[in-house]
């Protein structure tokens, strides 16, 4: 899967949780879920569950801790799909 597609798919996943619409529209590899998108930290677990469901993968506890921005999310998804 190319990066553009993955970012577009991630954007759809985080959309319901993102409180900063402008940051969501400009989402890119360097976007941070909490500081940029203003996602409530408690909702990060919901983002992860939605990612698991979308790609039919299981994200372990260690990976979960790292999944706080778009770049890390992409890396984790790609490694699980590989």
Could you list the residues that contact another protein (CB under 8 A)? 16-17, 40, 42-43, 45-46, 49
Residue 51 C-beta: closest distance to another protein, Å: 12
Residue 2 C-beta: closest distance to another protein, Å: 29
Burial class (CB in 10 A: 0-12, 13-18, 19+), 77: buried
Choice between 16 and 65, CB closer to another protein? 16
Alpha-carbon gap, residue 73 to 82, rounded angstroms? 14
Residue 1: which residues within 8 A CB-CB, separation 6 or more?
Answer: 78, 81
Choice between 47 and 70, CB closer to another protein? 47
Residue 57 C-beta: closest distance to another protein, Å: 13
């Amino acid at each position: 899967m190319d990066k553009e597609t993955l970012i577009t798919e991630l954007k759809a996943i985080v959309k319901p949780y993102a409180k900063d619409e402008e940051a969501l529209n400009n989402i890119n590899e360097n976007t941070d879920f909490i500081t940029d998108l203003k996602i409530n930290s408690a909702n990060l677990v919901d983002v992860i569950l939605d990612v698991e469901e979308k790609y039919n993968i299981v994200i372990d506890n260690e990976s979960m801790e790292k999944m706080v921005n778009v770049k890390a999310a992409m890396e984790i998804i790609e490694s699980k799909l590989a």
